[in-house]
Amino acid sequence: MDNENLLIYLVSDSIGETAEQVAKAAISQFVFENYEIRRYPFINEKSQITEMLEEAKQQRSIIVFTMVVKELKTFLAEESAKHNIPCIDIMSPIVEGLSGILQSTPKREPGLIRKLDEKYFRKVEAIEFAVKYDDGKDPRGLKKADIVLIGISRTSKTPLSMYLAHKNLKVANVPLVPEVAPPKELFEVPSKKIIGLTTNPMKLIEIRQERLKALGLKSEANYASIERILEELEYADDIMKRLSCPVIDVSSKAVEESASIILEIFREIGYKLTNGK
């Protein structure tokens, strides 16, 4: 009997990866190789369970399941018992234990872990996008972005890009410098996707002087002079007017506050972002 082939049926109302991992981990504890795993994912009807049981009752079988829909798992347990097929519920003991500790009712919605994984990978993708298309590195990314930030140096373009990326948004940013013409791709992007960033010139002087000190350079360099800053701001203002894009003054705002304003602007104009918000 021990050498008779064993069929392990993995039944799930989602993908069934959890059931497979647990079943493989369990059977590895035995010196037994005559087994076959059959996976039945996305079970959402009793007829599917009945069909599976008709097959399972023909041979030595065991059912391992991860189902959260109460009606279906009750049906599976009852029908398996009628055919004398061992049936193991992996999820319920853990879910019920957590429910008691958390004093909360489980959602009983299939596939939630997969949705969480997808959300995580979207965030990673958005962060990689922000890094790849930071500081105008590759203008080809402008058309792929959900949001394009433009502004002169030290107007929080990169911090804002990264903050918004953590909200699953693909953000590219472009520095505006009088001596360098903006990429032509910027003028091919819908203006509703572009946000201009500006700041108070006196505040910017302080920021740039601190930046120069951090780099070991003299604070009186042209980069931090009022003449240069006014020139840059005027140039940037002209570009933003040509693009007809909204403009945010970030001089006295934290990154979180500026990001909130940006998202509110997009909501007001009804522009659909990829994260659905």
Residues in binding site for ADP: 151-158
Q: Calculate the dihedral angle through the C-alpha atoms of 118, 120, 123, 129, rounding to the nearest 10 degrees.
A: -80
**Residue 154 neighbours by CB under 8 Å, 6+ apart:** 199, 204, 207, 208, 211
**Residue 14 neighbours by CB under 8 Å, 6+ apart:** 41, 42, 66, 110, 111, 113, 114
Number of neighbouring beta carbons within 10 Å of residue 104: 9
What are the structure tokens assigned to 17, written together?
């990866």
Between the alpha carbon of residue 183 and those of residues 143, 176, 231, 258, the distances in Å are 12, 10, 20, 25
Cα of first residue to Cα of last residue in the chain, in angstroms, is 58
Q: Which residues contribute to the annotated binding site?
A: 151-158
The 3-state DSSP class for residue 59 equals: coil
Strand pairing report for 147-151 and 194-198? parallel
Rounded CA separation 205/202 (Å): 5
